[in-house]
Amino acid sequence: MHQEHFVPLSKGGEYTHKNIIPSCKSCNSSKSNKDFFEWYPQYEYYSKENEDFILSYLGHKQNTQQLSAV
């Protein structure tokens, strides 16, 4: 199990529990430093239900598109 930064450290993300999600090695490598909202919908196992769960897990509100600007 890996730690994936929702907002990559290289793009200003912090090393806090609100920015880290558990990830398999393959997902972590695939996402790399990409923006979550650009990467995840194109991921082969994408589902809106899982996206909502991830955002809820991190404590993000419905309007999370502002994170894409980071």
What mean pLDDT comes out for the span 27-43? 94
Residue range of the domain that includes 6:
2-69
What mean pLDDT comes out for the span 30-39? 94
Predicted pLDDT of residue 3: 94
Top-confidence residue, 70 or 27 = 27
3-state secondary structure of 4: strand
Contact 27, 3 (CB under 8 A): no
5: which DSSP letter? Answer: E
pTM tops 0.85: no
- Which of 35-39, 40-44, 60-64 is predicted least confidently? 60-64
The tally of domains found in the chain comes to 1
